[in-house]
Structure 1
Amino acid sequence: MILHELIRENFVAMSKSQKKMANYVIDHPKDIAMCSASELGSKIGISESTVIRFSYTLGFSGYVELQKLIREHFFSHESSITTYQQSKLVLPNNTSFFKQVMEQDRQSIQHTMNQIQEDQYHEAIERLSKANSVYILGLRSSYSAANWLSFSLGLVKDNVHFIRPETEDVIRTISKMDTHSVVIIISFHRYLKETIQIAELAQRQKAFVIGITDSLLAPIHIHSNVIFPIFSPNKSTLDAVSPLFSFMNAIVAGLIVEQKEDFMKRQELYKSIPSNFLFDEEGEAT
C-alpha cells in the first residue's frame, strides 16, 4: 500500500509523537478510518495537532484525506485471499498468462532487493554463523516458509529449531534462549499476536531477533534487532511468496559461504550415512 511506503520514507524525520502515530496507523487502520483527529489523538496519547501534522508530513492536505485513503484501501482489501484473487483476475487470460504472473513475481523480488539493507543482511548472516542455537517461528500463512527455512538452515549448521507452539511448551523453549541464540520471526499481515508475544519474550532473553515481514513498521519491528521487509503489491502473503523464498534462499546461501568449510564437512558426513532405502537408483526421493 502507498501509505506504508510514505510512512517508511518519512519515518526517520518524524518526531517521537509522529512515530507513535505512524505505528498506530499500521496497527489500527480501522480506528483512523472511524475516529476524528481529536478522538484519535486521545486514543494514542498525542495532541490533535500532532495527528494533523502527521498527515501533512506524509503529503496529504489534511487528516480527512488520510482517512479517505485508509477507508478505500482497508475496507475494500480485508481478505488476503480476495486481494490475491483480484490481482490475478485483471491479467489477460491468454497463452502468456503464466509469464505475466511470473513477471509480477520477478518485479516483487526486484522491489525486495531494493528494500533490503545490505549492512543488516551481513549482520544477520554473521549472527547466524556465530550462534549456538537458532530458532525459527512462523504461524498460519507463514508456517510453510518457516518450516522450509528451518530445514534448509539445518543442513548448514547444528541446533536449528522450528518452533511449533501447537505441539511444544513454548515457554520452556524460550527459557533456553540467551545471548548466543538467534531467533528468526516471519510475520505477515494479518499479524498474529502470538507471534509478536514470542518475539518479545525472545528479546527479553537477550536473543538476537531477525524479523522478516511485509513492512518496516509491522508490529514485529519493535522486537527485532534487524528487520527485512518483503515487498508485496497487495496485503497478501500469497503475493509475497516468491520474494520471501528468494530472500530466505539468500540467507541460507550467505550462511553457506560464511561457513564453507563446516558446510562441506557436514555434506561429507551426510553422504557417508547409508540411505539407499530412502532413494531410488537415480538418487531421487521415492
Structure 2
Amino acid sequence: MEPILQLLNSHSPNFTGKERRVGEFIRAHHNQVFMLKSKELAMRANVSEATISRFVRKLGFPNYIQFKDELARQAMENYSTSNRLLALSKQVTSGHHVLHSIAEQDLDNLRQLTSLVSVQEFDRAVEALGQANKIYSLGLRSCFGLSYHFYFCLRFFMSNVVLLWPATGDIPEKMLTARSEDALVAISF
C-alpha cells in the first residue's frame, strides 16, 4: 500500500475545501490520527463525519476503519528498530560511521564528567561506599538498567548491596531500615 502521506499529496488537487482541511490535519498529526474515531477526527478537523467518509473513499479505502488500520500499520512500521537505526545512520554527518558518532558522544560525556567531578569528590564517594554497612542502588524508569548494572558489578566485590526495584512500589519501606552508616546511589539522567 502506498504511504498515506503520499496518497494525500497525490489526491490533494481533487480535494474540496473541507477535505483539504482533513488532509492538513492528518499531515500534522498522522502518528496520532489512527487512535481517533471518525467522529473525533471530524470534530478536530472541524468537518462533518460524512466529509471524513467521503475523504477516505476518495483515497481508495472502503471505510474509515480500514483507513485507520492502514495508518496505524504505517505508524508502527516507522517506529521499528531497523527504521530508527536507518534514520540514525542517515543523520550521521558525512564521512562518519554510526559507531564513530556513538563513541564520540560517549567520550564527550566522559570529558564532561571529569570536568564536573573532581578527583577528591570521586575519592570521597569511593570511600563512602567502601565504609557503608549497606549500599542501596536506585534507578527509576530508564535509569533502572544502569542501576541494575551498578548493583550487579558491585556484588562481585561486596555482599552488602541492595537493589531497589521500582516495579514493586516498596522503595520507601525498604529505605525505612536504612541508617546513617548506609549509602544510597541514586542514578538519574
Higher helix proportion, which one?
A: 2
TM-score, normalised relative to structure 1: 0.33
TM-score, normalised relative to structure 2: 0.49
- Higher relative CO (Cα under 8 Å, sequence separation at least 6) belongs to 1
